[in-house]
């Protein structure tokens, strides 16, 4: 008797994130029935990644073949656990945003003739014209960003057109860098995928389209017309705009569209049903939005490798610090996003310095036994930060820059407070503009399981925080959101249910976990103005 015997339909969602490939399987009621992951550094050490990437100064890439190999490793793990592949009706997925994959001219024939007796990585060795995929952590394209903003008529024009000003990690600027530095690779490329559409392509055995939500993170898509913007294509391809358009394919507006059946490779090698359908895969942040039935006034904070803030908006409302992205399944809706590069990896860095055994237990102990101190504020931009554009670690005591706090352990509290104060500052601005109030704050991502960190979050925002019910499952909001998308596509197909995409049941997956201490919130409210002033000093020091 297997735990899956009573279930007739399963829907799976993947998330090809920075450090891992994750899978979540849900059943008809949106209940999570199975999860698994492949950790890149630990399980694919022969690619030499650290925290899932290869860093070379500001250039941060990932071996494309490692991602390919990780898919077979994950599915093989499931096979060993006797996962009922045959019950999977639909597959969707998510991927770290902005990363790009360059398929060679022979890729289509390699993809369509995959042999189930051989692993994918072995067969797709020659499928890529660029071996190292640029990732979202890359910040080597400042030159391309300046050029893009200048040629389009300024940052504001770009923001209004694409939802974001020019960002180093955005795919258009990464493509522009490849066009300039490696024109041969560009001409040897038949298709450019995002991480999400790349994974969908593997399942289909032919090129999957880029969905408009993930496509909004490229500085190439007009978020109003939902088409590639010719002027931007032209600028980001050294004048070869028409060629770039062909290499990108048409963006897909319908996030629930059936793209085709799963490739025979997966049917024969793992036992998927040949009628199992593939729908568009999207970015990890858009997918996270779907893992919760988000409504106006709901805010999702994801504490993963990156920290992100997601806010639902019915109108596009771009600002110079946030991104406006097309909604992954509602073609007329949008959402706002903030993204911080110094998320979990920088918290780990501070943990490793200030705790003897590099453990979250000790880190939490320090958080639990310390108190906020108004005069001590830190900024922790170990990696080139996005908001604000700054790098370095800065500690202030009574508004004076100091090398170290008199009590070095204070760094543990200071980093968490600083990260959340920065979010609060920006969220307040976005909410004021939309005349909204926070109705519900939901925390997801790897660090969301840390109760002490979540307590500080509640205190800074002065509101109750909700978290996914864990029961040992449910930690992966992006793969969960992708699975939800697969279930919705099934409903749409089976019942022609196109109007009612409400899925309130999913709210049962979340629980309120902590209430704020209002004396602490008052304290942080008093601190935030000074925080903002000190942040300005940090930014000035970078000029
Ligand atoms: N108990 C914990 N406290 C704080 N952070 C944690 C804890 N457990 C895991 N993490 C962090 O979660 C991160 C991974 O988060 P995750 O959302 O899975 O990332 P991604 O999707 O980007 O691969 C790790 O880098 C780790 O620092
Ligand atoms: O760059 C962004 C969003 O703009 C990142 O949020 C990436 O999408 C990576 O996600 P994680 O691996 O941290 O989840």
Residue 203 is encoded by which pair of tokens? 């399942």
Helix or strand holding residue 90 (H, E)? strand 88-95
Q: What angle do CA 509, 326, 205 make, to 5 degrees?
A: 80
DSSP letters, 336-386, are: EEEEESSSHHHHHHHHHHHSTT--HHHHHHHHHH----TTEEEEEESS--S
Judge if 98 and 194 occupy the same domain: yes
Question: For residue 507, is it within any domain?
Answer: no
User: Residue 386's pLDDT band (boundaries 50, 70, 90)?
Assistant: very high
Q: Which of 285-299, 348-362, 424-438, 468-482 has the lowest mean pLDDT?
A: 468-482
- Please tell me if the CB atom of residue 222 comes closer than 6 angstroms to any atom of ligand 1: no
Please indicate whether residue 542 or residue 204 has the higher confidence score (pLDDT): 204
Residue nearest to atom 9 of ligand 2 (CA): 96
Which of 245, 270, 285 lies at the terminal end of a domain, its last residue? 285
Question: For residue 16, is it within any domain?
Answer: yes
* Backbone phi and psi for residue 430, each to the nearest 5 degrees, phi listed first: -65, -40
Judge if 140 and 18 occupy the same domain: yes
- Number of domains observed in the structure of the chain: 2
Burial 187-215 (b: 16+ CB within 10 A, else e): ebbbbbbbbbbbbbbbbbbebbbbbbbbb
Q: What are residue 303's DSSP bridge partners?
A: 307
CA separation, residue 62 to residues 51, 203, 349, 382 (Å): 10, 20, 21, 20
Judge if 135 and 213 occupy the same domain: yes
What's the rounded Cα separation, in Å, for the pair 375 and 352? Answer: 24
Please check the confidence at residue 252 and state whether its pLDDT lies above 70.
Answer: yes
Mean per-residue pLDDT over the chain, rounded? 94
Question: For residue 503, is it within any domain?
Answer: no
Three-class DSSP category at 219:
coil
What's the rounded Cα separation, in Å, for the pair 35 and 23? Answer: 5
Average pLDDT over residues 186-197: 98
User: Residue 470's pLDDT band (boundaries 50, 70, 90)?
Assistant: low
Please check the confidence at residue 1 and state whether its pLDDT lies above 70.
Answer: no
Helix or strand holding residue 526 (H, E)? helix 518-541
For 372, half-sphere exposure in the C-beta direction (CA atoms, 13 angstrom radius) is 24
Please check the confidence at residue 501 and state whether its pLDDT lies above 90.
Answer: no
Judge if 238 and 350 occupy the same domain: no
Q: What are residue 325's DSSP bridge partners?
A: 335
Atom of ligand 2 nearest to the CA of 96: 8
The whole-number pLDDT of residue 438 equals 85
Whether omega for the bond prior to residue 388 falls within 30 degrees of 0, making it cis, is: yes
Judge if 165 and 56 occupy the same domain: yes
* Backbone phi and psi for residue 76, each to the nearest 5 degrees, phi listed first: -65, -40
Residue to mutate, 14, 15, 16, 18, ligand 2, most ligand atoms under 8 Å from C-beta: 18
Q: For residue range 138-157, list pLDDT tens digits in order.
A: 999 999 999 999 999 999 99
Please indicate whether residue 172 or residue 473 has the higher confidence score (pLDDT): 172
Question: For residue 126, is it within any domain?
Answer: yes
- Please tell me if the CB atom of residue 283 comes closer than 6 angstroms to any atom of ligand 1: no
The whole-number pLDDT of residue 474 equals 56
Q: For residue range 35-94, list pLDDT tens digits in order.
A: 999 999 999 999 999 999 999 999 999 999 999 999 999 999 999 999 999 999 999 999
Judge if 69 and 171 occupy the same domain: yes
Judge if 177 and 103 occupy the same domain: yes
Q: Which ligand is nearest to the CA of 345?
A: 1
The whole-number pLDDT of residue 359 equals 96
- Please tell me if the CB atom of residue 288 comes closer than 6 angstroms to any atom of ligand 1: no
In the chain, % of residues over pLDDT 90 = 84
Report the separation in Å between the CA atom of 449 and the middle of ligand 1, taken as the mean of its atom positions: 9
The whole-number pLDDT of residue 539 equals 95
Question: For residue 263, is it within any domain?
Answer: yes
Question: For residue 217, is it within any domain?
Answer: yes
The whole-number pLDDT of residue 473 equals 55
User: Residue 472's pLDDT band (boundaries 50, 70, 90)?
Assistant: low
The whole-number pLDDT of residue 319 equals 79
Contact 75, 202 (CB under 8 A): no
ipTM of this complex: 0.98
Q: Assign residue 247 the CATH number of its domain.
A: 3.30.420.40
Residue nearest to atom 25 of ligand 1 (CA): 344
The whole-number pLDDT of residue 297 equals 81
Which of 262, 285, 308 lies at the terminal end of a domain, its last residue? 285
By residue range, what is the domain housing residue 117?
10-285
The model's pTM is 0.95
Question: For residue 379, is it within any domain?
Answer: yes
Report the separation in Å between the CA atom of 328 and the middle of ligand 2, taken as the mean of its atom positions: 16
* Torsion sign across C-alpha atoms 147, 149, 154, 157: positive
What does the CA dihedral 140, 143, 144, 145 come to, rounded to 10 degrees? Answer: 90
Question: For residue 90, is it within any domain?
Answer: yes
User: Residue 390's pLDDT band (boundaries 50, 70, 90)?
Assistant: very high
């Amino acid at each position: 008797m297997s735990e899956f015997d009573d279930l007739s339909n399963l829907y799976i969602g993947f998330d090809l994130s920075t450090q891992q490939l994750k899978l979540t399987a849900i059943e008809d009621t949106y209940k999570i029935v199975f999860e698994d992951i492949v950790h890149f550094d630990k399980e694919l050490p022969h690619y030499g990644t650290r925290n899932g990437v290869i860093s070379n100064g500001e250039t941060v890439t990932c071996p494309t073949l490692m991602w390919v190999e990780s898919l077979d490793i994950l599915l093989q793990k499931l096979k060993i656990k006797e996962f009922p592949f045959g019950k999977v009706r639909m597959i969707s997925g998510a991927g770290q945003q902005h990363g790009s994959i360059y398929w060679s001219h022979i890729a289509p024939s390699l993809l369509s003739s995959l042999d189930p007796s051989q692993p994918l990585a072995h067969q797709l060795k020659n499928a890529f014209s660029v071996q190292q995929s640029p990732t979202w952590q890359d910040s080597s394209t400042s030159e391309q960003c300046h050029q893009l903003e200048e040629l389009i008529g300024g940052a504001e024009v770009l923001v209004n057109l694409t939802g974001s000003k020019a960002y180093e990690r955005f795919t258009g600027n990464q493509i522009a860098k490849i066009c300039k530095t490696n024109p041969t690779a560009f001409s040897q490329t038949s298709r450019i995928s995002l991480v999400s559409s790349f994974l969908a392509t593997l399942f289909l055995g032919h090129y999957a389209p880029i969905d408009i939500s993930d496509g909004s993170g490229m500085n190439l898509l007009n978020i109003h017309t939902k088409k590639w913007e010719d002027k931007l294509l032209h600028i980001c391809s050294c004048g070869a705009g028409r060629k770039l358009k062909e290499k990108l394919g048409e963006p897909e507006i319908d996030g629930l569209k059936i793209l085709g059946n799963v490739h025979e490779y997966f049917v024969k090698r793992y036992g998927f049903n040949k009628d199992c359908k593939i729908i568009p895969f999207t970015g990890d942040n858009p997918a996270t939005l779907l893992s919760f039935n988000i409504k106006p006034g709901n805010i999702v904070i994801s504490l993963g490798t990156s920290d992100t803030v997601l806010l639902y908006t019915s109108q596009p409302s771009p600002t110079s610090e946030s991104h406006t992205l097309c909604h992954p399944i509602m073609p007329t809706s949008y959402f706002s996003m903030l993204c911080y590069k110094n998320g979990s990896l920088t918290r780990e860095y501070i943990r490793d310095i200030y705790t003897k055994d590099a453990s979250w237990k000790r880190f939490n102990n320090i958080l639990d036994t310390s108190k906020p101190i108004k005069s001590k504020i830190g900024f922790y931009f170990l990696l080139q930060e996005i908001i604000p554009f700054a790098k370095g670690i800065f500690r202030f005591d009574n508004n004076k820059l100091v090398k170290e706090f008199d009590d070095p352990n204070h760094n543990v509290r200071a980093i968490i407070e600083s990260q959340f104060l920065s979010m609060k500052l920006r969220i307040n601005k976005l909410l004021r503009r939309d005349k909204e109030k926070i109705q519900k704050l939901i925390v997801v991502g790897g660090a969301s399981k840390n109760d002490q960190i979540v307590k500080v979050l509640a205190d800074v925002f002065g509101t109750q925080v909700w978290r996914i019910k864990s029961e040992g499952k449910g930690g992966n909001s992006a793969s969960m959101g992708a699975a939800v998308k697969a279930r919705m596509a099934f409903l749409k197909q089976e019942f022609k249910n196109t109007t009612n995409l409400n899925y309130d049941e999913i709210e049962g997956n979340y629980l309120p976990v902590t209430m704020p201490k209002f004396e602490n919130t008052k304290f942080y409210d008093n601190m935030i103005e000074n925080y903002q002033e000190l942040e300005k000093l940090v930014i000035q020091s970078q000029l």
